[in-house]
Structure 1
Amino acid sequence: MTARPLPASDPAAQGVDASGVHAFLDALEAAPGIEPHSLMILRHGHLVASGWWAPYTAPRPHLLYSLSKSFTATAAALAEGEGLIDFDAPVVSYFPEFEADITDPRSRAILVRHVASMASGHESETIDAAYGTDRAEPVRGFLLQPPERDPGTVFAYNQPCTYTLGAIVQRVTGQTLTGYLRPRLFDPLGIGETVWQRDRTGREIGFSGLHAATDAVARLGLLYLNDGVWQGERLLPEGWVARASRPHIATGGAMGEGDRQDWDRGYGHQFWISRHGFRGDGAYGQFCLVLPEHDAVIAVTTATERMQEYLDLVWRHLLPAFRPAPLTGRRSEDAALRERLDRLALPP
């Protein structure tokens, strides 16, 4: 299908100061260790700035890494809205064939909402143990890892939590995540081609592996910014966005030492709470920044290990560019920004 373009506008008409975007681009170019691939900025529902650094292009699908998790959570929300999933049900209840094997009381106490918020009770990542225990059925391998703490009491960034959430969706719907999301999310939003990595079970892995264009990230962010409503139609269950974007578990210090301010503010349902708004994010700087206080979305693909530094640049340069009212007399500044962004796609 051919997606309808997002409504476009000059930055000034939506209260965005082009000089702030220039300052952000200058800072990116000067920052060591940050290789930008794409940038889309939306304000008041309009695309006000977008650019792709060669050789990346607008239609090219990009590996989203853990930003895939936010799409998996969205699938779970839709399944809950259809009465297929109960977030307060034990995970093992969706896999009755494992009942006899899963004897640890904490494992049996893990609820759907716990895996949705990375609060299974494990104190560290269990991906290697889960696959190592049962490569043919990683959900069973995960549930056979006894949590060190009661579910719901401790955060750990733990890939099998999201894998299990995605596995539940695929079990109750009888479809892959892509197959389930296509008519319910992707097509209504106008999201084009996507590819999602599968494991040997045939499942799409949920915690990573989704390849999609930056435009898909921007559209998901805009849907969440608008409380799950798209062009006047409610796509996500009422109340879901508020649930997904509030902290369900504390994360302070859980993601390592150093300046990790935007990882220390709590975790929702496969979304991080940021210093400003909330976000889906993936390794090496794949971001879907939702900023309700500014009525803005910033979608980003990048190659960097300095993800906190990237966010610092967004907060330092882009946030001040969001003004409370339209700006006048800025046609030349807006035109210069468009020209600069267009030049990014030219081969060096």
Structure 2
Amino acid sequence: MKRILRIVLFSLLFIILAVIGYLAITFPPVMTGMAAKTMCSCVFVTGRTAESVVQQELQVFPGLASLPLDINHTDSTVTASLLGRTAKAIFRKGLGCTLLAERSEADVRRQPVRLPAPPPFDPDTVDWPTGNRIRRDTLPAHIDYAAVKQAVDEAFVDIDPAKPIFTHAVVVIHNNELIAEKYANGYDINSRCMGWSMTKSITNALVGILVKEGQIGTEDPAPVAEWQHDDRKNITINNLLQASSGLAWSETYFNPTADFHSMFIKSDDKAAYAASRPLKHEPGTVFQYSSGTTNILSRIIREKTGDGYYAFPFEKLFYPLGMHTAIIEPDASGTFVASSYSYASARDWARLGMLYLNDGVWNNKRILPAGWVKYSTTPNTTSPMQEYGAQIWLNRGAVNDSTNVKYKGLPNEAILFDGFEENTVLIIPSKKLVIVRLGVTHNRNFSLPKLTAAVMKAVQ
């Protein structure tokens, strides 16, 4: 009996030590990488205080807010450490922050980058929507503005103080007019807010512009060098856009060994990591949401635009729309992390939503090709609830049950740029509405349907 007890105890001890060893090996790189990159971007890109970042963004994982962080304002870097593991993120003006994995800081800072000069105009002297000046005499008279204001105000209220929603900004657009906006303390119309996966919808627009220019087609095989000698060569641009590439992928945020973290934290070249994944399904047959395929698209955009890559989103999308706060951060290889790392003001996010509300046309100028918005918002037939188009979320509902939707409480016609921590650009075409909500909500306790229903009622 004693022998059996000893075996059981030794077995338990072995299991406990194995678990501790696993956690000690896998979690420190992820935690330090997340902390360094998040703090770097929030401090140097958005102008936040370190204290507010600790109180908000770094609460996403237990223990993350307690990591030692060295914020160096002289060389614009942030270093995090845990159990002997360190991670460093560096800031470059005009590019934002980049997390280093294997490449040296010196090598990354030496990368040649050509950024365009901003257009010579003051947005505060130009009327909305390209500028920031709001003309009250053009606002629709039929709207219940008091009801809209109340709905927006309530979007900042914590229902449970123990689970704060940290709403940073809300903007409401109706019929292309800005009818309401509100900002948390410390935020204003120029404050950059992180888009997370709303960045994927920016990528949709950039691919659309290349299609308009004739540089690429949605049914073209994806020009990925690593795939030319195996079945992955059959993956198309459309498959990448619709998250149906067939590549093996795990978009799991709380598993340190998932592809998500292997790409974001442990790889200097996000697109190369994603492209290295094996084929698991026939392309176009299975829906698998993937930040990896978006970063493959980003590398394709880079190869198509060449030396003009860094200027491309500014010259072809951001500046024409008046999105002067918008920025996409690159990885250490120099490719934009076009799945997740973008920042823009609430008004600029609203402008992007308006572009899609207006079929890709801005101030009577076509930015996106004719038919692109329809293509992008047509459900991918492999998504079970018809919830995904081309890097854009939808709410159509299952083919045989339109009530079986991804976003309960929102209209079936809803179009969404949807990011982590409940960052959203919501488009309701029939109401000519764009609603932007930005913040840091960890508990999924912000009610977008409540805000949407109140605004829709007020603009009837």
TM class, shorter-length: 0.7 to 0.9
Alpha carbons 2:268, 2:331 under 8 Å: kept: no
Alpha carbons 2:244, 2:288 under 8 Å: kept: yes
- Return the match for 1:148 from 280, 292, 296: 280
Alpha carbons 2:270, 2:331 under 8 Å: kept: no
SS at 1:29's partner residue?
A: coil
Give 1:335's aligned residue: none
**1:203-245 deviation per Cα after TM superposition (whole angstroms, max 9, x unaligned):** 1110011111111101111111111111111111000011111
- Return the match for 1:273 from 394, 406, 416: 394
- The CA deviation at 1:178 is 4.8
Instruction: Please give the alpha-carbon distance, in whole angstroms, between the structure 2 residues aligned to 1:14 and 1:177.
Output: 45
Give 2:157's aligned residue: 29
Give 2:235's aligned residue: 110
Give 2:314's aligned residue: 182
SS at 1:304's partner residue?
A: coil
Change over 3 Å in CA distance of 1:143–1:127 after alignment to 2: same
AA paired with 1:266? E
* Greater alpha carbon shift after TM alignment, 107-116 vs 117-126: 117-126
**1:48-89 deviation per Cα after TM superposition (whole angstroms, max 9, x unaligned):** 111111111211111111111111110000011111112112
1:60 paired to 2:197: no
Change over 3 Å in CA distance of 1:315–1:131 after alignment to 2: closer
Identity value in percent: 25
**1:241-263 deviation per Cα after TM superposition (whole angstroms, max 9, x unaligned):** 111112114444xxxxxxxxxxx
SS at 1:34's partner residue?
A: coil
1:18 paired to 2:146: yes
Alpha carbons 1:117, 1:268 under 8 Å: kept: yes
Instruction: Please give the alpha-carbon distance, in whole angstroms, between the structure 2 residues aligned to 1:310 and 1:273.
Output: 17
SS at 2:440's partner residue?
A: strand
- Return the match for 1:291 from 410, 414, 428: 428
- The CA deviation at 1:15 is 2.8
Instruction: Please give the alpha-carbon distance, in whole angstroms, between the structure 1 residues aligned to 2:445 and 2:276.
Output: 34
Alpha carbons 1:130, 1:145 under 8 Å: kept: no
AA paired with 2:154? D
- The CA deviation at 1:27 is 5.8
Alpha carbons 1:119, 1:249 under 8 Å: kept: no
AA paired with 2:250? S
Instruction: Please give the alpha-carbon distance, in whole angstroms, between the structure 2 residues aligned to 1:27 and 1:52.
Output: 10
Change over 3 Å in CA distance of 1:86–1:196 after alignment to 2: same
Instruction: Please give the alpha-carbon distance, in whole angstroms, between the structure 1 residues aligned to 2:275 and 2:337.
Output: 16
- The CA deviation at 1:316 is 3.3
TM-score by length of 1: 0.79
- The CA deviation at 1:311 is 1.8
Change over 3 Å in CA distance of 1:249–1:302 after alignment to 2: farther
Give 1:215's aligned residue: 347
Give 1:242's aligned residue: 374
Give 1:192's aligned residue: 324
1:73 paired to 2:226: no
Alpha carbons 2:249, 2:277 under 8 Å: kept: no
Alpha carbons 2:270, 2:337 under 8 Å: kept: no
Change over 3 Å in CA distance of 1:14–1:244 after alignment to 2: farther
1:127 paired to 2:256: no
AA paired with 1:127? F
AA paired with 1:82? E
For the pair shown, which has the larger CA radius of gyration, 1 or 2? 2
AA paired with 1:73? N
Instruction: Please give the alpha-carbon distance, in whole angstroms, between the structure 2 residues aligned to 1:195 and 1:36.
Output: 21
**1:185-205 deviation per Cα after TM superposition (whole angstroms, max 9, x unaligned):** 212111113332211111111
Instruction: Please give the alpha-carbon distance, in whole angstroms, between the structure 1 residues aligned to 2:209 and 2:307.
Output: 13
* Greater alpha carbon shift after TM alignment, 270-279 vs 161-170: 270-279
Alpha carbons 2:356, 2:373 under 8 Å: kept: yes
Moved over 6 A (4+): none
Instruction: Please give the alpha-carbon distance, in whole angstroms, between the structure 2 residues aligned to 1:113 and 1:41.
Output: 32
Change over 3 Å in CA distance of 1:181–1:140 after alignment to 2: closer
Change over 3 Å in CA distance of 1:202–1:47 after alignment to 2: same
AA paired with 1:269? A
Give 2:271's aligned residue: 139
Structure 1, unmatched stretches of 5+, are: 253-263, 324-348
Number of aligned residues: 305
Instruction: Please give the alpha-carbon distance, in whole angstroms, between the structure 2 residues aligned to 1:155 and 1:202.
Output: 29
Alpha carbons 1:12, 1:18 under 8 Å: kept: no
RMSD (Å) for aligned C-alpha atoms: 2.5
SS at 1:51's partner residue?
A: strand
Give 1:225's aligned residue: 357
1:86 paired to 2:217: yes
Change over 3 Å in CA distance of 1:138–1:309 after alignment to 2: closer
Q: Which structure has the higher relative contact order (CA within 8 Å, separation 6+)?
A: 1
Instruction: Please give the alpha-carbon distance, in whole angstroms, between the structure 2 residues aligned to 1:247 and 1:60.
Output: 33
- The CA deviation at 1:171 is 0.9
Instruction: Please give the alpha-carbon distance, in whole angstroms, between the structure 1 residues aligned to 2:309 and 2:326.
Output: 11
